[in-house]
Amino acid sequence: MIRLFVVVEGATEDRFVNGMIVAHLAAFQVYASAVTVGKAIAQRRGHRQRGGGHYRHWQRDIRTLLRSNPGDDVRVTTLFDLYGLSDDFPPPAEDAPLGTTGLRKAALEAALARDIDDPRFIPNLQRHEFEALVLASLPQLRALLDASDAEAVDRLAAALGQLAPEDVNDGATTAPSKRLACHVPHFSKLVHGLLAVEGAGLDHLRRQCPGFGGWLDRLEALGRTAA
């Protein structure tokens, strides 16, 4: 049995992990739970938890989880966005290839692993952000919206063409979240986004988003390795 902590940035990712990932991984005897960055400290101080923040907050929470759970049956992973990483995030190695965002993702995950420096830690950055999973679920999103917004989803799908969800770039106006905001003004990540990806299902998401799928493969394998 493996206990897995998934450190996330905010409420949407928290609900996604607890609503879809937890039950799925339990079938592999991997017992997961989401931990929102900064949540414990915010609660102690009486503040509303917003997630996100600087890398130093992520580092603190990841190291605290590992230190507080010293067993070999514990793993900690992340579900952070590649897009918009804070300036204090660990830099990639000087010789790391960075020609594509796929290579940049790999280099930054390696930098994160070096900084945390614990074999029980599994770094993961979603390319480019959670909303890529929503772009993989546009038919399901369309079904949730009224007629005018449904037509807007059609226009977004046409604009994306054959571009894979994880290949949508990370520009300030063209990242997945920016495209959704531009084309579908009434879109809510916490409401529509979650319902859309839930409707699409994990099998569809992992086929459409191979980076996400590779992460899920690795988490599933934890249970097989432990057995």
Cis peptide bond N-terminal to 54, omega within 30? no
If asked whether residues 120 and 218 sit together in one domain, one would say yes
If asked whether residues 208 and 193 sit together in one domain, one would say no
The 10s digit of each residue's pLDDT in 26-69 is 999 999 999 999 864 444 444 444 445 789 999 999 999 999 99
As a whole number, mean pLDDT of residues 1-27 equals: 97
Q: Is 222 left (phi over 0), alpha (psi -120 to 50) or beta?
A: alpha
What three-state secondary structure class fits 134?
helix
If asked whether residues 11 and 114 sit together in one domain, one would say yes
pLDDT at position 170: 76
Question: Domain containing 52 — which CATH number?
Answer: 3.40.50
If asked whether residues 191 and 208 sit together in one domain, one would say no
The beta strand positions in the chain, using DSSP E, are 2-8, 30-36, 74-81, 121-122, 125-126
CB-neighbour burial class of residue 22 (10 A; exposed 0-12, middle 13-18, buried 19+): middle
CB-based contacts of 1: which residues, under 8 Å, 6+ apart?
Answer: 29, 30, 31, 73, 223, 226
pLDDT at position 226: 59
pLDDT at position 114: 98
Average pLDDT of the chain?
Answer: 92
If asked whether residues 123 and 148 sit together in one domain, one would say no
If asked whether residues 125 and 217 sit together in one domain, one would say yes
pLDDT at position 52: 56
If asked whether residues 62 and 110 sit together in one domain, one would say yes
Q: Is the dihedral of CA 2, 216, 89, 108 positive or negative?
A: positive
If asked whether residues 104 and 169 sit together in one domain, one would say no
If asked whether residues 97 and 167 sit together in one domain, one would say no
The 10s digit of each residue's pLDDT in 145-158 is 999 999 999 999 99
> Beta strand 2-8 with 30-36: parallel, antiparallel or unpaired?
parallel
The 10s digit of each residue's pLDDT in 78-125 is 999 999 999 999 999 999 999 999 999 999 999 999 999 999 999 999
pLDDT at position 40: 47
State both tokens at 70: 């010293």
Q: How many domains does the chain have?
A: 2
Q: What is the DSSP string of 33-62?
A: EEEETTHHHHHHTTPPP-----HHHHHHHH
pLDDT at position 45: 43
With CA atoms as reference, report the closest residue to 180 among 224, 219, 145, 226: 145
pTM of the model: 0.92
What is the span of the domain harbouring residue 138? 131-200
If asked whether residues 146 and 209 sit together in one domain, one would say no
